[in-house]
Structure 1
Amino acid sequence: MKSLLAIYPGSIVSEELCIREGCLCFFDESNQRYISIPKTEISEKEVLVLQAFLTPADEGNQLSMKSPEENKWFSFLFSKGELPAYIKKRTRFVHFHLFGKIERTSFTEAVRHFWPVSFVIVWIHEDRGVIVEQESEAAKKGELESLAKVLESDFYFSVRFYAGRFYEPDECLRKHYTREQAYFLFAEKRLPQVQSVTFEMIFPFLLLETEKEKLETLLSEESELLFGSESELRKTIKLFIENNSNVTLTAKKLHLHRNSLQYRIDKFIERSGIDIKSYKGALLAYFICLQNESSE
């Protein structure tokens, strides 16, 4: 990447796809980085050379090949377009990376079989994309692991997933996508053998490998998502975890009825997508609570 930046000084390198008007975007698989090069700095012959060792990520020039729904999401995520008007429910992103002989039609059919709800697949480039899903009671847990096995056994290509959390349908979805994409790229480096990853799974590695300042920013963003201005909820969740997930003991200390506390915990898990009754979920939530506490 340093050599390319020296040759094309107007370029931008980032961990997320950066679609810019007047630029060509490429993906470097070895470094898990995107580079956007101004068209004015690159010749047609140089483009052909770069395509030999970088993956073109120029889906923005192929909007005519996409469905109307995919166009809307692509525009929203990468060109600051408007959020699709039909989105009324909480929404999540399931990021994916395919390996092997890629057949988009086969992949879409397999996803449709395992997803009993409406979804949109947005292709970022040839082997990467995101499944956009609205929250529904029909959604099944563990579908990603099953889907990955079917793709390997029936279609002969493997896949890695990052299962995002559900978020409110507003302009912040764009920021949530970008943050989760960074998590996914980190997971592919640190846990290459795991086919379906969540934030709870990679969080311990982020603690060990992320710079302190960047980690504090990350935890602050997550804290705002989980608790916002609800300091009492944060104190409740923190105390619950400190009491080894013992509902009775925590309720006693908070002077609450056990059922009332259980209801709060269940609603928090449902809203946040983080199972604080599990070790990984509790670890993640506890550090977020500590970050929130230290920033007050």
Structure 2
Amino acid sequence: MLKKLLNYYPNSILFSNRPENPSDQYYIFYHKAENEWIGIMRSTVNEMELNLLKSLFTLIETETKNNSSQARKWYEFLLSDGPEPIQKNESDYRFIQFHLHNNDTNPAEIEAALTGFFSEEAIIVWESRVKGIVIEENNKISLTEEELISMSETLESDLYVKISFFIGKPYPFSNRLPFLFSKESDFFTFGLAQIKDINIFTYERVFPAYIAYHLPEELTKKVNTEILELFLHDTELFSTIKIFLENNLNASMTAKKLYIHRNTLQYRIDKFSERTGINLKDFYGAFTVFLAALIFEYQQK
């Protein structure tokens, strides 16, 4: 019977054993006849449904931890037009969004792993079974972009979980935080859908692709056709130039990522410059070519 609830509450979790240390963002119900437990996100259950569920199943009372209680308040504030979760203070807050690419993961296990990497004061808010937010105060921000990359690799190797992150900007606490978070959430959603070769996203990484994707047709037609035709007839050159620009014109790093010798890389760069007359070491030249590369990529899709 509990399995049928999965159709009505798609972000719920079914357990064969009583869950240990479940997130406070879930109601835990027990069905004695089937000896099964289910966790249903509190945000998806209204009062009438809760009373009905309590009449059918046993509601398991869980100990509320301070962080879990705060997580619920932040969820309501950021996503449900709820009241401010804390008293106003001088701290900045950073939102690190995460997305799990596996649908069969255990949120409690993932939350425990994330807690081990971030500071103990970080608050983890679940939007759904596969998407959540790590909320950090500015003076307790613990991980750099490089460390997040390392963490994602560790989770994938140890827990077989592929995870992507969006690193938000620090913002002072105000009632504008839900709006600012919503903007970052939109960029993260876009990045997940349109940028396939990375798993750590930032505003700076996503915004150029966002612009290229939303350019009106009359503007895309003004892109240098020589660049697009060159990319079309030499996809290897396209990949080389795009990766070179994405790596800040760092030849060593680009050659390493492409598994080619630096001389081979320089030959391809020289070939591109000779064919187009554009110097990639000039900021405006690099910007123009990178925008053209993004537009070309979307046209091929």
The TM-score with structure 2 as length reference comes to 0.49
- Greater radius of gyration (CA): 2
The TM-score with structure 1 as length reference comes to 0.50
